[in-house]
Structure 1
Amino acid sequence: MEVPMDDSPVVQNGVLLEKEELMKKTKEDDRLTNWRLVTIAGIVSCLNAVENSVLGIGEWPYMKEIDENATAQFFGLATSASKCGHAVFALIFSIWSWKTHSVRIPLLASRFIAIIACVIYLCIEYVENDKRYVLMSVYVLLGIANSGGTVLRGYITLCSSNEDRPRAFAVLGLSFIVSIIVGPTIQLLFSAFPYPGHAIFPGIRFHLYSAPIWISFILTILTVFVIHFFMKDIIREKPKKLRPSDSESSFSMEKMRYAFQKIKKSNLDWKLIGVCFFVKMAVTFSHATMSSIGSILYMVQFGWDGTTTVQVGSFTMVVFGVMSSTVLLLYIFCHLGKIVPQHKMFLFCTIAFGSVYVITYPYEFTSTPVARYNETTRAGCDPREYDWCFTALAVNPILYITVSLLVAGPAIPTMSTSLDTVYSRILGNIDQSIAHGAMTVVDDVLYMITPIFTTTMFTLYGVGPLWIIKSLVFVVIALTWAFNFKKIEKHLY
């Protein structure tokens, strides 16, 4: 139903709606879903995410390749610095968007920062020593650039109705998953160009680690074009105070909407909002652990060289992306968000995901000794860096990859979409830009702390203790969610 912004009458199916009926319908769903803008937001989100996914798997191998002094702990520090930049600027961009009533301006600013990061990355060969620090600066700039996408979450809530919210968030989630497919596919295609590759200009080379950044640079330019020419800001102006004469003589839908916003704001369930924050933090901790040591695990425990790590990691991410995309397409076209209660879906996926770490724990009957260090490939467990090299076990890589994909593929996008939907419903009919920005900041704080914690734990004790901690984290998530099940349910129906 389209609600006018003036006092003109509303006709639906040939029937003139009375004010009371119009108010009832507006209360149930106070905005239409603009699928064109939702789709554009998804495209921008996808293009932004590609620049991250094209670098993800090759970051550690490349740092190890160009700087022999790079360690796992330094890589964790660099990753944390990137997330620190993301956290700070996610809040800055969110406030900027809220103050200016614009998503276009913060997004364009973030894309220009991404362009600078790409140029520095491509020119790294001009640096003689300590190249790891240059890569760290690139990670920080990319983290800042990617934080601009935070404003899209609040933008989605303005573009969609309550009823269509799961599908709208699924579009955003699908854009991210598509980037996971595209990015690793690009890495896989260019894995035939091993380092040092071919010189394009003096000091600028084309190889499996630099090829993705060329693609990222081009896509960033394309993103600027899409934002500038196709994205539209949605401005929801604050109306004047209602006067008795206004309510008696005229009927303004904008005034009524503002009244509903004030009511919703005064009745926010802060306890459930806190539960959503806590659960999000716990899930992020687990995901950040895996992203921090994924490529390190391949090289140190399995003994794969940089090229093999990129190839296997890229293929794995492509399969993961296809599986995740299938789930999100079910949300968009089959209305999975309406068929299955989202709070129940989140609990089920939490339990399933936690079981991954139980199954892939390095038991003696499913594992072999970790790979020995190879000076030529710089792969394998180096006893000079890890004290546990001669005693630790590495789980069978086929078992690890298979189980992780079968569960993580459908579980991660489902958990993200269901939690976003529940959180949005709990917040109610308010401008949610700052609320989602705050969630992103908390998210980033975990991404900032976790890589340092993860790589330090891995350096000192190996993967076993990490898997135990991750399993316990998911137990806590499931229990917290279950204890608040009934209260959450009231906000969904």
Structure 2
Amino acid sequence: MELSNGKVAPSDANGNVEKKSQNEEKTDWRAVYIASLVAFLGAIENTIVGISEMAYMTTIDPLTTTQFFGVATSISKGGHAVFCLVFAIWAHKTRSVRVPLIFGRLLAFSACVLYIFVEFLPYGRRYLMGFCYLLFAIASSSSIILRAYIVQVSSHNDRLRACSGFAAAQLLSVVAGPICQLIFAWIKYPGYSLLPNIRFHIYSAPVWVAASSNFISIAIIVYCLHEVMQKKTKLKKNDDDSFYSLQSLATKIREVRQKDLPWALIFLCWIEKMLSSLTLVSLQTLTTPLLMTSFGWDGNFTVQVLSGAMLLVGILAILIAVAFAVFKSVTKIPQRYLLLFSLTMFLLLYFLTYPYPIVSSTIPEYNATTKGGCNTAEYAWCEGAGTTSPWLFLPIIIGIMGIAFPLAMIALDTIYSKVLGKINQSVMQGAFIVADDVMQVCGPVYTT
């Protein structure tokens, strides 16, 4: 049997290939850790900006509506989906990971600068902020290169551990972002004036941190992240990174067509992926305006509360991931039961947060100064509407996001891979990601 490095694996007297070979490439754990660190630094800015997006936009541009915010979010997600392919092809054609990654970080830095200077505009600030969201999304799409990089520097036997470390780095950003936001929570808007129309406050201060992290990330990419694709004259024939070869992609499509796959179950998995993503997109898009509308909170207080909530969500998600990595007894639970449990929690979310008379109070009127409360000019249902107590609403949201979503992700990914069976799954896994991207694009428009 020919190995991916062109050598022949040793076999026994019967011609069977031995399971272990000295010629097998070893995992470069240093490269795995460096790539995970770069991914962590790149994901922080998204969690930092994401918490205060809606609150900041409504504060500096009174004409902002939830519909506009939904459209801006949808466009940014569409840009992310498109440029994931662009960065993947770029890295494949140039055999380089450094150049595309550095370009992504420079693009993110440019978005941070525009975000800081947004108050220079006398009007229409929401449009510049929407453009910044698009730049942030495009910059974050460069992280797809790191996924391929992890595959290349890890052996087949260590692939699961390497990918788990990469995922853990991204989960840590969910915790680091809110912590950074909470550090500056005491600087109320409009904060301190550094230069005319350049202010340092609860909304902009974390962006300065995100801008600085890009320089750290670039330094790590230049001096610590070594190239691996340039050292290879051809891609590995039997490795996951062959997905990025257009020729092998066409071959895989033909192979998939020739397989007798359970398309009904595959389609069902796609639907489940889209539905679970819709719940997450709904919460991400509507939580900020819902808190400000239902409880009458101003932007400053809303950001503080959401930062604390996201911190708890990140901790719960990390605990779930660690449990699956450490405790073997957890992995023995059938995945379909875990998915069913998660879907049940999604369903209970809507029932438990409904404003029943016994646990609700009248929704506050709109306050033009704080931008909190329900505006009858925008929503006809404001008058006489009720709202669930925040002491009940927020714990339910934290529990659903911190427990149900990681469980659904782990269970559904496992079920989907088992449904596909013993085929090269790269194309079908790509289709699975596209199903998620479709909802990321359509979801914000639908929910708002």
Name the TM-score class by shorter chain.
0.7 to 0.9
**Matched residue of 1:368: which SS?**
strand
2: distance between equivalents of 1:430 and 1:228? 34
Q: Name the aligned partner's letter for residue 80 of structure 1.
A: S
For the Cα contact (< 8 Å) 2:277–2:439, is it kept in 1? yes
Q: Take 1:174 and 1:239, find their aligned partners in 2: how far apart are those partners? A: 27
Q: 1:58 to 1:9 in 2, by over 3 A?
A: closer
Q: State the match for 1:111 in structure 2.
A: 105
Name the counterpart of 1:198.
Answer: 192
Partner of residue 294, structure 2: 301
Q: CA deviation at 1:56?
A: 1.2
Q: Deviations over 1:260-310 (max 9, x none)?
A: x97976648472544443322121111101100111111001111111101
Is 1:402 the counterpart of 2:395? The answer is yes
The sequence identity of aligned pairs, in percent, is 36
Aligned length: 425
| CA deviation profile, 1:299-333 (whole Å, cap 9, x unmatched) | 00111111110111000111111111111122334
Q: Please point out which of 435, 452, 466 is paired with 2:445.
A: 452
1:214 has 2:214 as partner: no
The alignment status of 1:321 with 2:310, answered yes or no, reads no
Q: Distance in 1 between matches of 2:68 and 2:434?
A: 23
TM-score by length of 1: 0.77
Does structure 1 retain, via aligned residues, the 8 Å contact 2:355–2:387? yes
Supply the AA of the counterpart residue of 1:5: N
- Contact 2:12–2:18 (Cα < 8 Å) also in 1: no
Please list the CA deviations of residues 52-110 of structure 1 after superposition, one character each: whole Å capped at 9, or x if unmatched: 11011211111111111111111111111211211211222233344445544433322
Indicate the RMSD between aligned Cα atoms, in angstroms: 3.2
Matching of residues 59-208 of structure 1 within 5 Å? 59-159=53-153, 166-208=160-202
User: Helix, strand or coil for the counterpart of 1:289?
Assistant: helix
Work out whether 1:362 is the aligned partner of 2:349: no
User: TM-score, structure 2 length as denominator?
Assistant: 0.84
Q: Is the 8 A contact 1:154 1:436 kept in 2?
A: no
Name 1:44's counterpart in structure 2. 38
**For each residue in 1:180-212, what CA deviation from the matched residue of structure 2 results, as whole angstroms up to 9, or x when unmatched?**
111111111101111111122333211111111
| 1:45–1:175 Cα contact (<8 Å) kept | yes
Runs of 5+ consecutive residues of structure 2 not aligned to the other structure: 238-247
* Bigger mean CA deviation after superposition, 395-404 or 286-295: 395-404
Q: Which moved more, 1:181-190 or 1:216-225?
A: 216-225
Distance 1:452 1:437 in 2: 24
Q: In structure 2, what is the Cα distance between the partners aligned to 1:173 and 1:287? A: 18
- Helix, strand or coil for the counterpart of 1:79? helix
Does 1:280 pair with 2:238? Answer: no
Query: Secondary structure in 1 aligned to 2:17?
Result: helix
Q: Report deviation, 1:437.
A: 5.1
Give the aligned partner of residue 461 of structure 1: none
Q: Tell whether the 8 Å contact from 1:90 to 1:441 is kept in structure 2 after alignment.
A: no
CA contact (8 A) 1:299 1:379 kept: yes
Question: Partners of 1:322 and 1:363 in 2: how far apart?
Answer: 30
- The AA in structure 2 aligned to 1:40 is I
Q: Distance in 2 between matches of 1:55 and 1:199?
A: 20
- Counterpart contact for 1:188–1:311, Cα < 8 Å: yes
Contact 2:9 2:18 in 1 (8 A): no
1:442 aligns with 2:441: no
| Residues 41 and 213, structure 2, Cα contact 8 Å, conserved in 1 | yes
Matches within 5 A, 1:183-262: 183-235=177-229, 237=234
- Which digits, 9 at most, give the CA deviation of each residue in 1:127-185, with x for residues without a partner? 11111111011011111111222344444455556665554443233222211111111
1:311 partnered with 2:304: yes
Q: Match of 2:5? A: 5
Q: Indicate the SS of the match to 1:383.
A: coil
Q: Distance in 2 between matches of 1:267 and 1:373?
A: 59
